[in-house]
Copies of this chain bind each other. A is one copy, B any other.
Amino acid sequence: MRVAWIGTGLMGEPMARRVLEAGHQVTVFNRTAARTADLASRGAEVADSVAAAVAGSEVVVTMLPYPADVERVYTEVFEHAGADLVAVDCSTSSPALARDLAGRGAARGVAVLDAPVSGGPAGAQAGTLSVMVGGDATALERIGPVLAAVAGTVVYHGGPGAGQLAKLVNQTLVAGVTLAACEAYALAEHGGLDIEKVLASVRPGVAGSPLLDFLWGKLRAGDLEPGFKLDHFIKDLTLAGEAGGGLELSGLANVIEVAERVRAVHGGDRGTQALIKAAE
Protomer copies: 2
Contact-residue bracket for chain A? 35 or more
Q: Does A222 lie at the interface of the complex (its beta carbon under 8 Å from any beta carbon of B)?
A: no
Q: Does A188 lie at the interface of the complex (its beta carbon under 8 Å from any beta carbon of B)?
A: yes
A177-B177 Cα distance, complex, nearest whole Å: 5
Smallest CB-CB separation from A205: which chain B residue?
B118
Q: Contacting A205 at CB < 8 Å: which of B130, B185, B247, B279?
A: B130
Are A120 and B206 also in contact (CB < 8 A) when A132-B201, A170-B201, A279-B248 are? yes
A132-B208 Cα distance, complex, nearest whole Å: 15
Q: Does A72 lie at the interface of the complex (its beta carbon under 8 Å from any beta carbon of B)?
A: no
Q: Does A40 lie at the interface of the complex (its beta carbon under 8 Å from any beta carbon of B)?
A: no
Instruction: Please tell me which stretch of A13-21, A48-56, A139-147, A154-162 contacts chain B, meaning at least 4 of its Cβ atoms lie within 8 angstroms of it.
Output: A154-162
Asked whether A240 lies within 8 Å of B205 as measured between CB atoms, the reply is no
A280: chain B residues within 8 A (beta carbon): 247-248
Q: Does A169 lie at the interface of the complex (its beta carbon under 8 Å from any beta carbon of B)?
A: yes
Specify which of A172, A173, A247 lies most central, judged by the most chain B CB atoms within 10 Å of its CB. A173
Residues of A within 8 A of B (CB): 95, 118-120, 130, 132, 152-153, 155-158, 162, 165-166, 168-170, 172-177, 179-181, 183-188, 190-194, 197-198, 200-202, 204-212, 214, 240, 243-244, 246-252, 254-255, 257-258, 278-280
